Chains A and B, each alone.
Chain A
Amino acid sequence: MHEGVAAYVLGVLDEEEVEEFERHLDTCARCQAELKEMADIPSRLDDLKHSAAASEDDPPPMSMSR
Chain B
Amino acid sequence: MCPVLGHLTGRLESADIDAEHRIAVLYQEFGGPLLRHVRKSTGNDLQWAEDVVQETLVRAWRHSARLQWEPSLIWAWLLTVARRIVIDGRRRKSVRPHEVEPPEVDMLAVPDSSERALSAIVVAEALRSLSEEHREVIEQTYLRDRTISEAAEILGIPPGTVKSRLYYGIRALRVLLQDKGVAG
Q: Which residues of B contact A6 (CB under 8 A)?
A: 163, 166-167, 169-171
In the docked arrangement, what's the CA distance between A44 and B126, Å? 11
A37 to chain B, nearest CB (A): 7
Q: A residues 25-57 with Cβ under 8 Å of B?
A: 25-26, 32, 35-52, 56
Known contacts A38-B174, A61-B143; is-contact A32 B73 (Cβ 8 Å): yes
B116 close to A47 (CB less than 8 A): yes
Instruction: Please report the number of residue pairs spanning A and B whose Cβ atoms sit closer than 8 angstroms.
Output: 134
Tally of B interface residues using CB under 8 Å: 55
A5 close to B147 (CB less than 8 A): no
The bracket for how many chain A residues form the interface is 35 or more
B84 close to A43 (CB less than 8 A): no
In the docked arrangement, what's the CA distance between A2 and B168, Å? 11
User: Quick check: is B6 within 8 A (CB to CB) of the other chain?
Assistant: no
User: Quick check: is B135 within 8 A (CB to CB) of the other chain?
Assistant: yes
Q: Which residues of B contact A45 (CB under 8 A)?
A: 123, 138, 142-143
A62 close to B83 (CB less than 8 A): no
B170 to chain A, nearest CB (A): 4
B119 close to A12 (CB less than 8 A): no
B-contacting residues of A (Cβ < 8 Å)?
Answer: 2-14, 17-18, 22, 25-26, 32, 35-52, 56, 59-62, 64-65
A-contacting residues of B (Cβ < 8 Å)?
Answer: 37, 40-41, 43, 63, 65-66, 69, 72-73, 75-77, 79-80, 83-84, 87, 100, 102, 116-117, 119-120, 123-124, 127-128, 135-136, 138-139, 141-149, 151, 163-164, 166-167, 169-171, 173-174, 177, 182-184
